[in-house]
A = this chain, B = another copy of it.
């Protein structure tokens, strides 16, 4: 009784749709298993294709990952840049909205796996690290620098060591992402609680008081 032979759909050429399907399947597997732990056999199954087909579109596993990461990261920063560009309110409100967006688009989504993967596998695959640095870190830091400079110019941000290294401002969100990935199953902490603590710390710690 071979069910596989009966129920298997006939092969179909779907050249235009395939890359995105493979990327999506890849990102899911990378999210669950990490880069090394994700098997291309599983990616292929998820995408409904044969493993060899992956190589028609991506040179190798790393190329698939890079494509998947890029597809996810670029829109996020494009949106954030546009948002900050257009924003006209107080720095407190801007921080609140940006930090909230970080939670909505990083902490609570599978984009957070990039943190895991780069940290975990970056030493073995330096190109992952370089790529992520270029696509996400440089852009993220530039955005934070911009928010801080704007705040200082408006007299709303207190100059000091924290304003000079704004990456510390988003550190709680990074830790929340790590928590969600590694410990939430054992020891749940609601995202809202991280967000509230984060905003509390950063608004009190960075802003000029009373502003």
Residues of A in contact with B (beta carbons under 8 Å apart):
32-34, 36-37, 115-124, 129-130, 133, 137, 158, 160-162, 164-165, 167-172, 174-175, 178-179, 181-183, 186-187, 189, 193-194, 196-206, 209
- Give the Cβ gap from A164 to chain B, nearest Cβ, in Å: 7
Are the C-beta atoms of A162 and B201 separated by less than 8 Å?
yes
Identical copies in the complex = 2
Q: Give the complex CA separation of A170 and B179 in angstroms.
A: 13
- A174 contacts which of B33, B171, B202 (Cβ < 8 Å)? B171
- Give the Cβ gap from A199 to chain B, nearest Cβ, in Å: 7
Known interface pairs A121-B120, A123-B33; A194-B206 also in contact (CB < 8 Å): no
6 of the cross-chain contacts (CB-CB < 8 Å) are A36-B36, A133-B187, A158-B204, A160-B204, A162-B201, A171-B172
